[in-house]
Structure formats: structure tokens, C-alpha cells
A and B are shown apart, each in its own frame.
Chain A
Amino acid sequence: DAKTTQPPSMDCAEGRAANLPCNHSTISGNEYVYWYRQIHSQGPQYIIHGLKNNETNEMASLIITEDRKSSTLILPHATLRDTAVYYCIVRVGGTGNQFYFGTGTSLTVIP
């Protein structure tokens, strides 16, 4: 699986949009981009994933560049409960394919 690079930490004001970048310059054509988050001492929570089109769900939006070498997770209106470590992962789709976690971005939402 391709490696990802994320900033180690970010702050965001409550109510504002949080934009979390991820670099995956060696991504392969059949690899998806996944985003998970982990609130302290809990299991990771699925947020969103995409292949090449931008995606949106009730939690967030995922913007993938046209060359697919980077992506941005957008939390449109950050709340204090969004404080967590956010992981960007790239992997080939399929039942048995593993997730390899990088170091992630620790997002702190400030009141």
C-alpha cells in the first residue's frame, strides 16, 4: 500500500470548517483513499472514502485532486466532539485487504 503524509497536528475554531490535508503521491490506480478518526481511547471510526471523485456524506466531504496525489477531508462545521486523531489511508479495495495506519493528524477544535 502507498504511504501517506499528514501534518502531525492542527487547530480549528469551533463552528468553522476543518480542512485536513493528506499527501499520497505514490497512490496506485486501484487504491482508494479512506479517512478514519480516533477519539482518545476508542476504536477508529469510519468517516468517508473515495477513489477519484469527490465524496460527501453526513459527516464530511472528501476532495481528491485530479492526479489523485493528494486529498483533503473537510469537516464543514467543526464541533468540540470532532477533536480526534484523523488518519488518511490508501489501500486496494476488497474484503481482505488490510489497513496500514500512518501517524495521522491530531485535530484540536478550540471553543
Chain B
Amino acid sequence: GAVVSQHPSRVICKSGTSVKIECRSLDFQATTMFWYRQFPKQSLMLMATSNEGSKATYEQGVEKDKFLINHASLTLSTLTVTSAHPEDSSFYICSARDYGAGYNEQFFGPGTRLTVL
């Protein structure tokens, strides 16, 4: 099946710094990728839809200036958490659809655990 990777898998940073998380589709092209956030013992919350070559679409309540998304190629989307604070500590997960496969399912990355001190 299609593989989605994320880097880094785990990151610890100081409050006020910015952190970049990469999401890659390894063996397929993804015109659309999605970013989710998951707090402990909670479900995944969709943050934004990332479209290759255009601006991301953010869900209501998600600050676009706080969570910068760039989808510069068909295999890479990045999420930058700017000026991170402890409340941004969470599990960040991306997903992508295999555009050429003809299926409707999305494939998820393994997630990135962000801890802001």
C-alpha cells in the first residue's frame, strides 16, 4: 500500500521557537494532504487541507499564522508551528491520498510527537 512518512517522529523544543514537521508521500503523488492534531486520549482533529501549489485551507478555529503549511511539491507538505508554546504540545499527523490509485482512502503518516517546554 501507499506509504506516508513524517519527520521528525519526535521533537522537543523551547517555548517561543518554531518547529517544522515534514510529511512525504514515498511512492505516490499527492495533490492533497491533510494535517491533524491529536491531544492525549482524544480523537484526531483536522487542522487544514494542504493543496499542492496553492494556499492551504484551514478549519475553523485554527490559526493560519500560527500553523504555516507549505505544499511545494506532489510528495511533500510541511507544517511549521511558529512561536510554539506548551499548549501546542500534541501529536501531529498528516495524511495523503494516492491520486493515481483510483481509490478513495487516505493514507496516514506515523505522526510527530511535539513537546514544548
Contacts and interface: CB of A to CB of B under 8 A. Distances in A.
B46 interface: yes
A62 B115 CA distance: 38
Contacts of A65: none
B34 A101 contact: no
Contacts of A98: 34, 46, 49
Interface centre among A41, A43, A98, A103 (most CB of B within 10 A): A43
B25 interface: no
19 contacts: A34-B104, A34-B105, A42-B110, A42-B111, A43-B95, A43-B110, A44-B44, A44-B93, A44-B108, A45-B108, A49-B104, A87-B43, A94-B104, A95-B31, A96-B32, A98-B46, A99-B34, A100-B46, A101-B46
Contacts of A46: 1, 105-108
A34 B107 CA distance: 12
A100 B44 CA distance: 8
A27 B8 CA distance: 37
User: How many B residues are at the interface, by size bracket?
Assistant: 20 to 34
Given A32-B104, A41-B91, A94-B104, A99 B51 contact: no
Interface of B: 1, 4, 6, 31-32, 34, 36, 43-46, 49, 51, 91, 93, 95, 97, 99, 104-111, 113
B87 to A, nearest CB: 20
A42 B109 CA distance: 8
B49 A95 contact: no
Given A87-B44, A94-B104, A100-B46, 8 more contacts: A41-B111, A43-B93, A46-B107, A49-B104, A93-B104, A98-B46, A98-B49, A99-B95
